Structures are given as structure tokens and as C-alpha cells.
């Protein structure tokens, strides 16, 4: 059943209002919502590709999708688990394909090293309980790195592989470079560079074009500008945070560049949404009939991996770098503070959401304020895309909430 005409117009009006507010709004947004059957519910582009350009945002605009990469890496890992090449819970997987992890010290205070109390597993990496952190979120990383510093967005794998653990494996949830390590494991287990693995085993079978770590000239020509919002709420264009990847043109350069399983992909949202559609459809692409993952594996992706931490996303500390992330003490506010969880690898709103999303909906985001969700119970998936820093932008987040609500109201209508 399609959206009601009134709901469709409401969504377009909400997006257009957000992008018509100049420096106080969002320069450009793209939004897609689909049924698990593959039926498009709405696709709309609004605004411009940059604050200082008249080039309109359109459905062919390319975005750096940052941590929206993580769910793709998780799918790759789980494909290899299904094939028996990896194990979620055996420490042997890490010992065989990432022995460096087993040799890492733990720095709970950022300064003093201690030994690991238990070995890291692939499940811990996908659930963000392995003990890795991000330098822009956790000040302990900078304390450990000292004057040299760490920058996970340089495309240099040393910024990832040299960092230690900051929590004991399995003891707490912390968002970090876990999926970068998972991507390294995929490469070593498959014998392919991560982008090549994605193309062959995920994107091509789903009929996906223009999702890649190394955008073509056509994708670069359609790239959305990166923006920075200042403390007074004003936007300005800024240099691209992940610009080195955009210069990697030869195969040799691409081979040397770090294939980040945590944040490496660029995409047209109209193509990325096909991945979400397959997950909403229990692992099978409705367009190509390709089974990406078994229904049982998809069920496992949507199982809460951290029931012992029902408030993991509440009372969050201020990020270490406010230019990259706003302080959002509660990641996904819900009335009554019901338990929340983390799957493999996504946030789970275990209780139904105020927008109309059903229980156990999975969602996640990209640093430049991109957000997606997959509601398997109601058979709906969607994505809103922007290129605005810092993360947690009130204008983009508010628009996402409103357009998601309008989707569900349109379905119910």
C-alpha cells in the first residue's frame, strides 16, 4: 500500500522547510522510504549540494555515509560465519585472522596498561564491547596517543591497528573502531580487499551501483559539500573530512589506502536503501531474489547483544571533539526510558518508537548526520542523508523524526 497523497506532500514540505532556512537550516537533504517488498514509498531530494552553490541536491547526489558502512561490514562478517570461515564466539577467529588484537594492552585510564582478562571475539567487535574507542568521542585515546595523536579518518590503517583497548573485552559497550577490525578480518579470511568483497558479494548481487570506497568521476562530480555548524547554529562549507579517499584513483593507490569497515563508503542513498530493503525482507533482495543472509542470521542481527546494559545510550559523556560530535546525553530518547539494545551491528529500539516504528526496529547513523532505520515488523525501511557536522545536528535529527513519523501516519492512513 502506498503512502497517502497528504503524507507524501507533508514529507516533501518538511524536507523543503529544513533546506530553505539558509545557514540556520540544512543545505540539502535526500530522503527515501521503502517497503520490504521493494515498493518505493517516497524519494525526495531537497535544497542544494552546498550552502554556497546553486547546484540542486538530487537523487544522484553522492554522500560520504561514514558509519552507515558498519552494517555492510557486519553483513560481510555474517556471510563468512554462515560459510563456516568465521565464528562469532570462538577466540580462534581472532587468533587466526587478527592476532594483533590478542597482544593488545588495556588502558582503562588512558595511561596505565593492564592485561586482557578474556579474549576478544568477533561478536564483541560487532556489538562494540571489544574495548576499542574513537578519539573524537573518548579523551582516553588522546591521552594514550600523546603528542603524536590519532585520526581515524586519514585512510592510514596505523591510526586503527596501533591503538590499544580502553575497556576490558566484554565488560561494557563503547562505540569505537571495532568494525574497522571486523573489516580487516573479512579481508584476511576472504583474501579480498574489503571494497572488492563488498562489490562482489553484497552490492552486485543486490543490483547496487554507486556504493563504493573509491567514487568514480561521475560520483565525485555529484558529491555533496561537507558543512560545519558553529556554536551559534550557523552553517558554513568546510573541507571534506574523508577527502583522501576521493583522490585514490589508481588501483595501486586504492590497494594501499585503508579500506575502512567502520566509515569508508560513499553512496547514493537510492542505492544504499537496497541493502536496508533486503534486511527488512529477512535477508532476501526483493528486486533480484538474491539471498544476502539467511532469515535466521538476520534474526540474530536484530537480537539484543547487551541486555545487561539497558541504558547504554543514556547519560553519555561529552565527546572529546565537539567539532565532530555534539553532546547528546541520550542517543534515542523514549518516554519512560524503556530498555534499549545493540544488535549486529545496529542500535535496537526494543520498545515501539513515538514515530510509529514497531518494537525491535534497528537503526544507525553516519557522522555527517545520515540516519537509517529498518522496521521488520511493519516492513518499512528508510534513510535521510545530509553532509553536516557535528553529529547530532538538531535540524537534521528533528527533520528525520518528523519525516519518519509522516511515513507511518501515511501508511496507517
Q: Which residues are catalytic?
A: 67, 70, 175
| Strands of 235-238's sheet in order across | 235-238, 226-229, 388-389
Grid cell digits, residue 111: 595511561
Q: How far is CA 347 from CA 75, 271, 315, 381, 392, in A?
A: 15, 22, 16, 14, 15
CA gap 38, 273 in Å, rounded: 10
CA gap 403, 343 in Å, rounded: 24
Asked if 133 contacts 127 with a C-beta cutoff of 8 angstroms, the reply is no
Task: Using the structure block, give the residue that is written with the C-alpha cell 536496508.
Answer: 276
Cis before residue 390, ω within 30 degrees of 0? Answer: yes
Q: Which helix (H) or strand (E) holds 60?
A: none
Grid cell digits, residue 25: 537550516
Q: What is the DSSP string of 248-279?
A: --SHHHHHHS---TTT--EE-HHHHHHHHHHH
- Residue 2 DSSP symbol: P
Q: Whose CA is closest to 19, among 53, 43, 51?
A: 51
User: Residue by residue, what is the 3-state secondary structure of 168-213?
Assistant: CCCCCCCCCCHHHHHHHHHHHHHCCCHHHHHHHHHHHHHCCCCEEC
CA gap 92, 119 in Å, rounded: 9
Q: How far is CA 194 from CA 169, 182, 227, 379, in A?
A: 25, 10, 28, 30
Amino acid at each position: 500500500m502506498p503512502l497517502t497523497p497528504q503524507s507524501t506532500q507533508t514529507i516533501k514540505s518538511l524536507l523543503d522547510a529544513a533546506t530553505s532556512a539558509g545557514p540556520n537550516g540544512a543545505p540539502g537533504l535526500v530522503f527515501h522510504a521503502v517497503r520490504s517488498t521493494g515498493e518505493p514509498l517516497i524519494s525526495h531530494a531537497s535544497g542544494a549540494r552546498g550552502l554556497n552553490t546553486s547546484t540542486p541536491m538530487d537523487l544522484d547526489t553522492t554522500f560520504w555515509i561514514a558509519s552507515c558502512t558498519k552494517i555492510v561490514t557486519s553483513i560481510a562478517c555474517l556471510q563468512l560465519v554462515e560459510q563456516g570461515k568465521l565464528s562469532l564466539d570462538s577466540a580462534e577467529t581472532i587468533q587466526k585472522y587478527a592476532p594483533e588484537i590478542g597482544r593488545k594492552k588495556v588502558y582503562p585510564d588512558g595511561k596505565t596498561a593492564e592485561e586482557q582478562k578474556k579474549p576478544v571475539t568477533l561478536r564483541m567487535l560487532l556489538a562494540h564491547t571489544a574495548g576499542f574507542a574513537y578519539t573524537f568521542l573518548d579523551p582516553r585515546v588522546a591521552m594514550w596517543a600523546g603528542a603524536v595523536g590519532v585520526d581515524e579518518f586519514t585512510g592510514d590503517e596505523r591510526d586503527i591497528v596501533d591503538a590499544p583497548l580502553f575497556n576490558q573485552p566484554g565488560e561494557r559497550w563503547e562505540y569505537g573502531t571495532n568494525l574497522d577490525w571486523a573489516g580487516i578480518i573479512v579481508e584476511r579470511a576472504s583474501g579480498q580487499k574489503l571494497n572488492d568483497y563488498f562489490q562482489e558479494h553484497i552490492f552486485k548481487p543486490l543490483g547496487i551501483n554507486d556504493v563504493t570506497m573509491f567514487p568514480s568521476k561521475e560520483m565525485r562530480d555529484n558529491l555533496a559539500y561537507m558543512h560545519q555548524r558553529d556554536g551559534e547554529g550557523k552553517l558554513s562549507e568546510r573541507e571534506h573530512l574523508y577527502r583522501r579517499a576521493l583522490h585514490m584513483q589508481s588501483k595501486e593507490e586504492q590497494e594501499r589506502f585503508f579500506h575502512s569497515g567502520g566509515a569508508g563508503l560513499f553512496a547514493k542513498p537510492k542505492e544504499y536503501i537496497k541493502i536496508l530493503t533486503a534486511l527488512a525482507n529477512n535477508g532476501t533482495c526483493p528486486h533480484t531474489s538474491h539471498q544476502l543472509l539467511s532469515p535466521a542470521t538476520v534474526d540474530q542481527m536484530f537480537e539484543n547483544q547487551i541486555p545487561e546494559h539497558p541504558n547504554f545510550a543514556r547519560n553519555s559523556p561529552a565527546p572529546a571533539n565537539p567539532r565532530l560530535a555534539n553532546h547528546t546525553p541520550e542517543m534515542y530518547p523514549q518516554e519512560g526510558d524503556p530498555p534499549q539494545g545493540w544488535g549486529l551491528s545496529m542500535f535496537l529500539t526494543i520498545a515501539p518508537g513515538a514515530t510509529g516504528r514497531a518494537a525491535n526496529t534497528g537503526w544507525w547513523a553516519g557522522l555527517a548526520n545520515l540516519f537509517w532505520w529498518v522496521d521488520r515488523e511493519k516492513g518499512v525501511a528508510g534513510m535521510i542523508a545530509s553532509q553536516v557536522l557535528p553529529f547530532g545536528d538538531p535540524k537534521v535529527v528533528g527533520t528525520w523524526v518528523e519525516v519518519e513519523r509522516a511515513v507511518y501516519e501515511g501508511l496507517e492512513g
